[in-house]
Every structure is written in C-alpha cells, then in structure tokens.
Amino acid sequence: MLENIELTRLNLTDLSMYHCGTEECAPCHSFGPWVRDHFLIHYILKGKGIFQVGDKTYSLQKGQGFLICPGAVTYYEADSQDPWHYIWVGFNGLKAESYLTQARLNQENPIFSGGEDDFIRECCWDMLEARHLNKAREVRMLGYLYLFLSHLIELRKEMTSLRPIENRKEEYIRRSIEYIEKNYSRKLTIQDLAKQVLLDRSYLCSLFKEVLQRSPQAFLIDYRITKACELMENTSLSIGDIARSVGYEDPLLFSKMFRKIKKITPSEYIQEKR
C-alpha cells in the first residue's frame, strides 16, 4: 500500500516540507537508481531491506532510517522474505543541511537509529494524520518535521556518551565553545556553561586546562576581549557601549580585563587603531 502527500514547494524558508508518505512494500520492491533535488528521509517501521549510495550498501531493519541527499545516486530494495514498511519525508530549505549536520547525518553518514522510544514513529504518523486538516495542514506537518529533526539531533547528543573518551572530551569542548560564542554578550558564568554541557563545573575546568591549556574563565575573557577589539573599529560606539556588548555591565571591570589581556587601556587601543 502506497500513500503519498505532496505539499507546495517553497524553498526560501529555513525549512520547507515537500512531501511525506508511507508504503508497505512487496517483497523485493525497489526504487532507483535515482537522483533527488531535495533531502529525503525514510524510517523503517517493520521489516528489512538494503540501501545503496555510491559504493556503499547498508542492510537495514525496523527502527533504523536512511537519508538521501540532493544529487546523490541511490537505490533501495525491500527484503525478499521480510519486506519493509517505511515512512518517508522529503524537505529542503535554507537550514535543512545545518539541522542534518547537527544530527550528524550526511551523504557519508546516512544511517540513523530511532532510539529506544517510539517518538519518531509517533511523530511520523502524526505528520501523516495532519493531511486531514483543511486550513492548517502544511503548518502542522512542518511543525512535526521540526520535532522529527530535533529528536534526531538529541539522539546524536545521547550517543556522545558511547564514543571513546578522547572523542568525548573534544565534543564537550566544542559544545562549550559554541555556547560561549552564542552567549558571550550576556551574563554568563562557568556554572551556567557547565550545566549547558551537562558536566560538573570542576571537571569542565580540568577539561579546558587539559585540552586548551587554560581555564574556561580565561577562554571566555579572551573571547570577549577579541570581540571588543572588533567593535572598536566602529567609531559610533563608546567604551561603555562596547563593554555592554561583550557582557560587561561595569565599564571599569571591562577596562581592567582589557588591560590585563592587551597590556593597554581600551582608550589607548582605540587611539592606536583609528
């Protein structure tokens, strides 16, 4: 049984859903070789089959899924004895690739597992059920697509704990730096940072010193001062404006930190650069 739902293609938004559907395949039912112009994810509800992309062949079963990327030549076929039943969703958009990257999915790594719960299965079915809506069908289905992708991203974070210790350390540092880059202009403590990456504060500090040879506090200060130097090229900003823009409500504390890092005051730095 095949069921396919087509939606209007508007590929100028962060995420645009093209179509979704489900099929309970006959034995040895195949599709391809074929090339898509958008991203397409299949999630297996039951049964088995194979997925081929490039020179790689993957044997897949219930609870697994596969990603097809735009421009990739792919082929997939249901098992002869236990053919699969899957749900698929096709999409694109300005941030589609970014979301998939966060889930660590790409043409070289196209396979994922749905985890121990039924969230993906239920989300996909809810997506299909939304076809019955008259006025809000596309909005509702797009909402479920966001939930679907967010769950894949969360599954990827959970899998961090299964990686080798050295890889986990690098991952914690990377996530910490990403959080600092996005929040340096706000009131940010190392305790906040530790909570964000799910680590004890003391362990996070030792990890920074081991990998980066400095504390997270020192890294944060250096990052803020670097950003402040960039802002000093803007002649319309006062030192107080710059201080607040990089997370210092107190201009005096900002000046103290700036002089500690740059060995000159903010005013002297501005005079040298302008």
Q: In this predicted model, what pLDDT tens digit does every residue of 134-189 receive, in sequence order?
A: 778 788 888 888 888 888 888 775 444 444 445 678 888 888 998 898 899 988 89
CA distance 65 to 177: 31
Instruction: Indicate the Cα dihedral angle 35, 146, 65, 166, nearest 10°.
Output: 110
pLDDT in tens, 73-83: 999 999 999 99
User: Can you give the pLDDT at residue 5?
Assistant: 44
Question: CATH 2.60.120.280: which residues of the chain?
Answer: 2-161
User: Can you give the pLDDT at residue 239?
Assistant: 92
Catalogue the E-assigned strands of 9-115: 16-24, 30-35, 39-46, 48-53, 56-61, 64-68, 73-78, 85-92, 111-113
Q: Which residues contact 72 (CB under 8 A, 6 or more apart)?
A: 35, 36, 53, 54, 107
- Where does 2-161 sit in CATH, by number? 2.60.120.280
| Mean pLDDT, 10 residues at a time, the chain of 274 residues | 47 74 91 90 93 90 91 93 92 86 86 76 82 80 87 70 58 87 90 86 90 90 92 87 93 92 90 75
Q: What is the strand order of the sheet 2-6 is part of?
A: 2-6, 16-24, 85-92, 39-46, 64-68, 111-113
The answer to whether the Cα torsion of 136, 142, 144, 147 is positive or negative is negative
User: Can you give the pLDDT at residue 117?
Assistant: 62
Structure tokens at 141: 């289905």
User: Can you give the pLDDT at residue 165?
Assistant: 47
- Return the CA Rg of the chain: 25
User: Can you give the pLDDT at residue 13?
Assistant: 67
Q: Say what the pTM is.
A: 0.55
CATH class name, domain 163-274: mainly alpha
* Cβ atoms 23, 2 nearer than 8 A: yes
Question: CATH 1.10.10.60: which residues of the chain?
Answer: 163-274
**Number of residues assigned to the chain:** 274
User: Can you give the pLDDT at residue 250?
Assistant: 92
Structure tokens at 14: 């962060």
Q: Which residues contact 23 (CB under 8 A, 6 or more apart)?
A: 1, 2, 3, 85, 86, 88
Structure tokens at 60: 């897949």
User: Can you give the pLDDT at residue 9?
Assistant: 45
